[in-house]
A and B are shown apart, each in its own frame.
Chain A
Amino acid sequence: MSAGSPLLAARGAARTFGHTNALEPVELEVWDGEALALVGPNGAGKSTLLSLLAGALGPSAGRVERRKGARVGWAPQRPAQYGRLSARENLELFARLEGEHDPRGAAERLLAEFDLPDEAAPSANLSVGNRQRLNLAISLLGDPHVLLLDEPTASLDPDQRRRLWARVAGLRERGGAVVFATQNLEEIELFADRVAALREGRLVYEGAAGEYDRAHVETLSA
Chain B
Amino acid sequence: MSRVLLLLKKDLLVLRRSPLLLGVLLAYPVAIAVLIGMVASYGSSKPRVALVDEDNLPATVALGGHRFDVERTIREVGKNVDLVRLSADEAERQLRDGRVVAVVTVPPGFISTLRGMVESPQLRLQLSTGTISSRVEQQVQALVYQLNRQLQRAFIASNLRYMTLLLHGGDGSFLGSPISVLGIENARRILATMPPSPKRAQLLDFLHDARLALGNTDDALRSTAHPIELVRVQADGRTWALSAEVQAYALGLTITFLALLLAAGSLAAERDENVVARLARGLVGLGQLVWAKVALAAAVALALGLAIAVAFGVVIQVGGITGGEPWRRLPLLVVGLVLAGGSVGALGALLGALAREARSASLVAVLVVMPIVFLGLIPAEIVPLAGWVSDLLPFSHAVDFFRSSLYDLSPWREVALQGLWLLVLGAVFGGLARLGARRLLA
Contacts and interface: CB of A to CB of B under 8 A. Distances in A.
B6 A96 contact: yes
A55 interface: yes
Given A84-B17, A97-B283, 9 more contacts: A17-B442, A55-B280, A55-B281, A56-B441, A80-B275, A82-B275, A89-B13, A97-B6, A122-B17
Contacts of A51: 277
Contacts of B275: 80-82
A98 B283 CA distance: 6
A74 B281 contact: yes
A80 B272 CA distance: 9
A93 interface: yes
A97 B284 CA distance: 8
A79 interface: yes
A17 B438 CA distance: 12
A183 to B, nearest CB: 20
A97 B441 CA distance: 19
B18 A80 contact: no
Contacts of A57: 277, 441
Contacts of A58: 441
A93 B6 CA distance: 7
B273 interface: yes
A138 interface: yes
Contacts of A78: 274
B274 A79 contact: yes
Interface residues of A, number: 27
A80 B6 contact: no
The 4 A-B residue pairs with the shortest CB-CB distance in the complex, in nearest-first order: A55-B281, A56-B277, A80-B274, A80-B278
Contacts of B273: 80-83
Contacts of B441: 56-58
A82 B14 contact: yes
Given A57-B441, A80-B273, A85 B10 contact: yes
B23 interface: no
A197 interface: no
A54 B281 contact: yes
A57 B18 CA distance: 31
A45 interface: no
Interface string B1-37: 0010010001001100110000000000000000000
B203 interface: no
Interface in A44-77: 51, 54-58, 72, 74, 76
A76 B275 CA distance: 10
Contact of B282 (A55, A83, A85, A122): A55
Nearest to A98: B283
A71 B275 CA distance: 19
A86 to B, nearest CB: 10
Contact of A56 (B6, B10, B14, B281): B281
Interface of B: 3, 6, 10, 13-14, 17-18, 273-275, 277-284, 441-442
B278 A76 contact: yes
Contact of B14 (A74, A84, A98): A84
Contacts of B279: 97
Given A17-B442, A84-B14, A85-B13, A76 B277 contact: yes
A145 B17 CA distance: 36
Interface of A: 17-18, 51, 54-58, 72, 74, 76, 78-85, 89, 93-94, 96-98, 122, 138
B280 A56 contact: yes
Nearest to A51: B277
Nearest to B10: A93
Nearest to B9: A93
B407 to A, nearest CB: 40
A93 B270 CA distance: 14
Given A56-B441, A96-B6, A97-B284, A84 B18 contact: yes
B199 to A, nearest CB: 114
Nearest to B18: A84
Contacts of A81: 273-275
15 contacts: A51-B277, A55-B282, A56-B280, A74-B281, A76-B278, A78-B274, A79-B274, A80-B277, A81-B273, A81-B274, A82-B10, A84-B14, A85-B10, A94-B278, A97-B3
B275 to A, nearest CB: 5
Contact of B278 (A17, A56, A85, A122): A56
A76 B14 CA distance: 23
A58 B440 CA distance: 12
B357 to A, nearest CB: 15
B283 A85 contact: no
A17 B439 CA distance: 10
Q: Which of B6, B14, B277 has the most CB of A within 10 A?
A: B277
B431 to A, nearest CB: 19
A83 B272 CA distance: 10
A55 B276 CA distance: 12
A138 B275 CA distance: 11
A76 B281 CA distance: 12
A137 to B, nearest CB: 13
A83 B284 CA distance: 19
Nearest to B275: A80
A138 B277 CA distance: 13
Nearest to A99: B283
A125 B415 CA distance: 48
A83 B280 CA distance: 18
A72 B278 CA distance: 11
Nearest to A120: B17
B274 A76 contact: yes
A6 B271 CA distance: 31
Contacts of A17: 442
Contact of A74 (B13, B17, B18, B278): B278
Nearest to B15: A84
Given A84-B14, A122-B17, A138 B278 contact: yes
A78 B274 CA distance: 7
Contacts of A54: 277, 281
A28 B441 CA distance: 23
